[in-house]
Amino acid sequence: GDFIFFMLSEEDKGNEISIRYWFQCVGLNGSGIISKLEMRRFYEIQRLQISQYFEICTFEQILCVLIDLIKPASKDFFAINDFLQPENKLFSGVFFDSLFNSNKFVEFNEIKPLRYEYATQTFNDFAKVYHAALILEQEWRHQQLISEK
């Protein structure tokens, strides 16, 4: 039973039960929030695995991307309600994959590049790349909504 629950939570991180499961996994101190320190612990493990194959961004860079995706009520931490907003459920998987599942995170990274070189470009270059990534993100969200129907 536990394995089935885990597999369902792993495969669909966008439903409320899965979001609550992964939120508890990251929120180690049981405070009801996910702190940057808690996130950093998990991300560094994933970053070590990913960096063997890709040049990947720092925690601070990924944190900025995750804040942009989830749009938490506070810039200092993430609360469960931030993930349960309908517009955030699709991207809760990206958030948790960045901390737990390097393969799925890299897969998303290929859709919306988060690599270090993008953060070091001039602002105009960055804006062009980010605009293209936003378009890909919209197309990806649209395809996900279609596939859910």
- pLDDT tens for 133-144 read 777 777 777 777
Distance CA 132, CA 137 (A): 9
The amino acid occupying position 92 is: S
Tell me the range of 4-13, 26-35, 115-124 where mean pLDDT is highest.
26-35
Task: Tell me the backbone φ, ψ of residue 78, rounded to 5 degrees.
Answer: -115, 135
Are the C-beta atoms of 48 and 123 separated by less than 8 Å? Answer: no
What is the per-residue pLDDT for 67?
92
What is the per-residue pLDDT for 104?
73
Are the C-beta atoms of 115 and 55 separated by less than 8 Å? Answer: yes
The average confidence (pLDDT) of the chain is: 79
Distance CA 128, CA 118 (A): 10
Per-residue pLDDT reduced to its tens digit, 73-129 = 998 999 999 999 988 887 888 888 888 887 776 666 665 554 444 444 455 555 666
Distance CA 88, CA 26 (A): 17
Supply the pTM of this predicted model. Answer: 0.66
Token digits of residue 96: 């948790």
Q: Among residues of the chain, what percentage have pLDDT more than 70?
A: 77
Distance CA 46, CA 69 (A): 19
Per-residue pLDDT reduced to its tens digit, 49-77 = 777 766 777 889 889 888 988 999 998 99
